[in-house]
Amino acid sequence: MKCFLRKEGTNLTAFLCHLRLGDNLQDFLTVTTWSPVAAAFNARVHRRLDLFHQNGLFGVPELSSVGGFEVVQDRALQETQQLVEQACRCPPGVQTVEIFDKLSDSLCRVADMADFIKVAHPDPSYREASERTCINIGTMVERLNTNVDLCKSLKDLLDNEEIFSKLDPETRRVAELFLFDFEISGIHLDKKKRKEAVNLNVKLLDLSNQFLMSCHMPNRIEKRALPEHIHQHFTKDGNYIQIGGLNADAPDDLVREVAYKVFLYPNENVMHILEELLSCRDKLARLVGYESYAHRALKGTMAKSPEIDNFALTNNLRIKPGLNLPLGVIRAERFNIEPSLYSPYFSLGACMEGLNGLFTQLYGVSLLAEQPSVGEVWSEDVRKLAVVHETEGLLGYIYCDFFYRPDKPHQDCHFTIRGGRQLEDGQYQLPIVVLMLNLPHPTQSAPTLLSPGMMENLFHEMGHAMHSMLGRTRYQHVTGTRCVTDFAEVPSILMEYFATDYRVISQFARHYQTGQPLPQSMVARLCESKKVCGAADTQLQVFYAIMDQVYHGKPQNRSTTDIMIDMQKKYYGLPYVTNTAWQLRFSHLVGYGAKYYSYLMSRAVASMVWKQCFYKDPLNRETGERYRREMLAHGGGKEPMLMVEGMLQKRPSIEDFVNALVSDLEPDFETFIMDSEG
C-alpha cells in the first residue's frame, strides 16, 4: 500500500474580479501589456479580506487550525479500517483493486498534504502537527503492508488466472504493484520477522524525516569570523551569520568559498542520522530477501537491478572524452552569459506566459490564475492556477509557491497533494500539485526577474506539474508522477530542452522595460555554454549516482565521508575540500535512495524524445498530443519502457542512453563562428 510521502467547480474568471495590480507596477508597464497569467505573477498580490468565508489549507475546512490535522488523520484511519474489512470480504475481481486504490487514496490524501506542510508552512505549530500526522499515517501504511489477510485478498485475485486475465491492462498492473508493495515489506516472513520489518520501516520514516529536515537547516558562524563586506550576502542573526546554501550563482569568489565551507561543515549528529538510515535500509532489504537495499529499490524500474543501471551507464560515460574537464576551463565568461544580461528578458510573468503559450500549442491547455479563498494558502505570495483544456475542461490545480522565504526548503521541488482517479459517479478526482521555487521578490520598480538557470528550473518543475495534470489514470496509485523513479524525471527534463530553444524562447522573452525581444545570438551563446558546462555537470551526476549506489550496496566498515572522498577521487575531477561533508546536504538520499541514477537515465530518454520528435518543430500540436497519449497519460499505469518504446518506436539500449547523453555535449560550431564574428 504505497503512500507517497514526498506530491469541483470553479470560477475561472475569479482572478479578474479579485486580483488587483499594485500601483508600483505602472512604472514598468509602459511598453508592454501583460496577459492575465503574466500579470498574476508580475504583480504583488493584494488579497481581498473576507471575514465570512474562511477556508482551510487546500480548501480542506478542518485545516483552518492546527487541530484539524488530527481530525483529518483520524477520519482517514477510520475509513482505512472500513476499507480493509471490505477488501478482506470482497470476492476476487476488479472491485478488489478499486478498494485497494480507495484505501491508498484515503491515506495518501492526508499524508501527502501533511508531508508538504511540514516543510513549507511558516508556522512551526503547523509544521509540527503535520509531521506527527505523517508519522502516524506512515506507521499505518507499514502495518497494512504486513497485513496477511489483506494481502491474501489481493493474491486470491492474481492467482485466479481466469478472472485476472479478463481485467484491463492498467488494472492488472496496479494489482501487481500493490502486491509488490506487500512483498518488499516482508509479507512472506513469519510473524516475528514481519513485526521486525514494521519496526524497521517505522524507524526509517523517523530517520528520513530527521535527515530531510537537517539537510535544509542553515549553519551559523560568528560575524567577526567573516570579512564585513560579504555579510550582506547572508542572513544576519544577532552576532552570527546564517548560511543556508552554497550561493553558487554569486559572482564573488570569496562568497562562494565561505558558503561552501560553512554550509557543508560536518555535523556529528546528522552524520549519525545518515549512517543509521543507511544501516536500517540494509537490514530491511536483507530481512525481506534482497542482496542489498539497491536491489530492493530498483526492482520494477527501467534499470531493473544495480548490475545494469549505474555501473553500465556511468562507467560508459566515464570513459568518453571531454568529461574530465576541470571547472577552471569551462567558465561561462567565454560566452558572455552574465545572468544580469539575461534576467531583464525573463520576468516571471513573461516566463509564465511562455509556459501558457507552449502548453496551449502542444496540448490545448491554458493556465488561468484564480484567487484563493481566505486560509486556502500558507503564504500571501502563493498563486493558484487552474489548468483548463479546450475541450476536456478543468484538469486540476497548481499552487505556485515561487518566492523566497527563510523558512522554505532551498531546493526547487514539486509535491503531489492529491492524485487524480476515476470516481464511482463518473466524475474525475482532479489532481492538485504544488511547485516550490526560491525566486526573488518583485521590487518597487521591477517584477521578479529570473536568471537563465531560474527560468530553466521553472520549466523543469512545470514539467512535473503537467505530468500530473495531463494524466488520466483510472487509479490514483499510479497517477502522474507516481511512476518508477527513472521515468518520473523524463517529462521535467524534456521541458529543459524547450526552455533553451529559440523558437520557444522568442515567443515570450521580452525586456520588461523596452519590450525588445531577446536576441537570438544571446540564446545561442547560452545554449553553447550549457553544453560546455554540461560536461562537468554530467561528470558530477555520475559521481552522485555512483556514490548513492555504493551507500546502498554492500555495507562497508568506513564512514560516509570516507566513501564520498574515495568516490570523488575516482569519478570526479575536483579534489575533496577538507572539513566538508557534502553528503549531509544530499536530501535526494531520502526520496531517491539507490535511484539517483534516474536523472541520467531520464535525461537520456528526454534527449532522445526531443531530438526524434520535437527538434524539427517544438510547437507541433500533433506531436504534443502523441507525447501526451504515449507517455504522459499513463502515469505509472503502464510499463515505463513500453511508453518509451511507443514514443521512440524502438527499445533503447544502454549504448543508446550513453550516446544520447554525450551527443548533448557536442558543440555547435556555427555559434562559435557567430560569436567570433560578433
Question: What pLDDT does residue 327 have?
Answer: 38
Catalytic residue among 131, 456, 461, 630: 461
Question: What pLDDT does residue 505 have?
Answer: 96
Distance of alpha carbon 357 from alpha carbon 349, whole angstroms: 12
Question: What pLDDT does residue 111 have?
Answer: 96
Q: CB-based burial of residue 55 (10 Å sphere; 0-12 exposed, 13-18 middle, 19+ buried)? A: middle
Which amino acid would we find at residue 304?
A: K
State the sign of the Cα–Cα–Cα–Cα dihedral 525, 526, 530, 533.
Answer: positive
Span 368-419, pLDDT tens digits: 999 999 999 999 999 999 999 999 999 999 999 999 888 777 778 899 999 9
pLDDT for residue 337 is more than 70? no
Average pLDDT value for the chain: 87
Question: What pLDDT does residue 334 have?
Answer: 54
pLDDT for residue 28 is more than 60? no
Name the 3-class secondary structure at 248: coil
Span 137-178, pLDDT tens digits: 988 998 899 899 999 999 999 999 999 999 999 999 999 999
| CA–CA–CA angle 272, 277, 280 (5° rounding) | 120
Which band of pLDDT confidence, cut at 50, 70 and 90, is reported for residue 483? very high
333: annotated active-site residue = no
Q: CB-based burial of residue 126 (10 Å sphere; 0-12 exposed, 13-18 middle, 19+ buried)? A: buried
Domain boundaries, the chain: 65-186, 218-265
Question: What pLDDT does residue 46 have?
Answer: 62
> What's the average model confidence in pLDDT over 352-374?
96
What number of other Cβ atoms are within 10 A of residue 268's Cβ? 8
Q: What is the percentage of the chain residues whose pLDDT exceeds 70?
A: 87
Distance of alpha carbon 394 from alpha carbon 407, whole angstroms: 32
Distance of alpha carbon 419 from alpha carbon 108, whole angstroms: 8
Span 564-587, pLDDT tens digits: 999 999 988 789 999 999 999 999
Among the listed ranges 31-35, 402-406, 506-510, 610-614, which one has the minimum average pLDDT value? 31-35
How many residues comprise the chain? 678
Question: What pLDDT does residue 104 have?
Answer: 96
State the pTM of this model: 0.85
Which band of pLDDT confidence, cut at 50, 70 and 90, is reported for residue 344? very high
Question: What pLDDT does residue 333 have?
Answer: 52
Which band of pLDDT confidence, cut at 50, 70 and 90, is reported for residue 302? confident
> What's the average model confidence in pLDDT over 511-524?
93
Span 102-123, pLDDT tens digits: 999 999 999 999 999 998 999 9
**Residue among 66, 87, 126, 135 at smallest CA distance from 107:** 135
Distance of alpha carbon 192 from alpha carbon 402, whole angstroms: 48
Question: What pLDDT does residue 26 have?
Answer: 42
**Residue among 415, 491, 427, 422 at smallest CA distance from 460:** 491
For the domain bounded by 65-186, which CATH number is listed?
Answer: 1.20.1050.40
DSSP per residue, 559-619: -HHHHHHHHHHHH-SSPPPTT--GGGG-THHHHTTT-TTHHHHHHHHHHHHIIIIISS-TT
Which band of pLDDT confidence, cut at 50, 70 and 90, is reported for residue 29? very low
Span 87-105, pLDDT tens digits: 999 999 999 999 999 999 9
Span 35-84, pLDDT tens digits: 889 888 987 766 555 545 568 999 999 999 999 999 999 999 999 999 99
